[in-house]
Amino acid sequence: MITSTITGTDNLTLSVAKKHLNVLFADDDEYIESLIDVSLNSVENYCRNVFIQRDNEQNIGSFIDNVIPVNLMTDLTYAPSDDKIIIEYMSGGLQTLEVPVRNLYTLTEHNYIYSNGEIIISLTDSISIDDATEVTLRWKTGMTGDMEKSIVQARLLTIGTFYENRESIVTGIAISELPFTIKYLLEAYMSPQIG
């Protein structure tokens, strides 16, 4: 299981969302803040991408015969933003190995294999580790700096839609999607599907 800690800053604040919604009162602040979180999850899931920087960690346990095998199964789903994964293990003290994964979504580099829904990191050689050592993977995902304005606008449109429509069914109103909206704004940020 991956543990992710947001280390970047979300530049979509409550005051920006309220201004977009034209809300001048504080009664709905908690709800709007939850919609800000929903909007981030929504655009990241749609684009198969991560827009706020995160530090990720996966403990992949210990290995038979105290050897890290050449192929490591991971839960990695997003390309590392700094093009590397750090493997931490004990071998006479804490050791780290940096594995480059420059082209996670292509086959031009041979640092990974995609098989049965999992990404397997390919190492050059197996690694000897201390008895009962657990191995941890660490990597960064997301954008550095402020989120692109197109992504923020797509999030604001998502927030507006959910704020105005609090149920999954709308009755008595003819509905049509505006052209050039959320999908149009996010198209440039979509990552290809792997596998």
pLDDT in tens, 68-121: 888 888 877 777 888 788 999 999 999 999 988 755 555 455 566 666 656 778
Residue 110 lies in a domain: yes
The rounded radius of gyration (Å) of the Cα atoms in the chain is 21
With a CB cutoff of 8 Å and minimum separation 6, the contacts of 160 are 20, 21
**Which helix or strand (DSSP H or E) is residue 29 part of?**
helix 29-47
Q: What is the pLDDT of residues 20-71, one digit of tens each?
A: 999 999 999 999 999 999 999 999 989 888 899 999 999 988 888 899 888 8
Asked if the structure places residue 171 within a domain, the reply is yes
Domain that holds residue 101: 54-141
Domain boundary among 103, 126, 141: 141
Total number of domains constituting the chain: 2
Segments of 62-180 assigned E as strands: 67-68, 71-74, 84-90, 94-100, 112-115, 118-122, 127-128, 135-141
136 and 59 housed in the same domain: yes
